[in-house]
C-alpha cells in the first residue's frame, strides 16, 4: 500500500504538472474530476475496463482538453496486497490497450 501511495504521489506531484507545463495529453484519473453535464451527455459514459481513460480519449477526439490542478486533494483507495495490485494493473493494461486501439487515431 505504501509503494502504491508513493507511486500516486509521484504521478500527481511530478508527472501531471510536467504534462500540464508542456501541453501534452492529460488523462482523467478515476479518483476525482469534474466535467460539465452537457459535455458528458454529448460524449457519453464508457463501458470499458478503464472508463476514465476512455472518457479522456473521447474528449480529446472531440476537441476538448483536460486541465489539471495541483490544488485539489482527494482520498484514493489503494490495493492492499501485491496480488491485488497485479490484477489491477493487468485490468488497466487491458483497458488502456483496448481504448488506444479504438480512440487513438481520432485523437
CA dist., res. 42 & res. 62, Å (int): 10
Burial state string for 8-25 with b = 16 or more CB within 10 A and e = fewer than 16: eeeebeeebeebeeeeee
Q: What is the mean pLDDT of residues 27-41?
A: 88
For the chain, which residues make up each domain, given as ranges?
Answer: 2-103
- Hey, is 55 helix, strand or coil? helix
Local confidence band at 98 (pLDDT 50, 70, 90 cut-offs): very high
pLDDT of residue 52: 92
Which residue would you say has higher pLDDT here, 64 or 1?
64
pLDDT of residue 20: 84
| 8 A C-beta contact, residue 31 and residue 9 | no
| 8 A C-beta contact, residue 11 and residue 26 | no
pLDDT tens figures, 6-24? 777 777 778 888 888 898 8
Query: Exposed, middle or buried, 53 (CB in 10 Å: 0-12/13-18/19+)?
Result: buried
- Average pLDDT for the chain: 87
Amino acid at each position: 500500500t505504501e509503494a502504491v501511495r508513493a507511486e500516486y504521489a509521484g504521478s500527481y506531484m511530478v508527472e501531471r504538472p510536467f504534462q500540464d507545463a508542456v501541453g501534452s495529453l492529460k488523462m482523467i484519473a478515476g479518483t476525482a474530476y469534474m466535467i460539465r453535464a452537457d459535455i458528458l451527455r454529448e460524449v457519453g459514459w464508457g463501458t470499458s475496463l478503464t472508463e476514465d481513460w476512455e472518457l479522456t480519449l473521447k474528449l480529446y477526439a472531440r476537441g476538448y482538453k483536460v486541465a489539471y490542478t495541483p490544488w485539489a486533494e482527494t482520498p484514493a483507495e489503494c490495493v492492499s496486497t501485491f496480488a491485488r495490485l497485479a490484477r489491477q494493473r493487468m485490468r488497466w493494461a487491458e483497458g488502456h490497450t483496448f481504448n488506444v486501439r479504438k480512440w487513438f487515431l481520432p485523437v
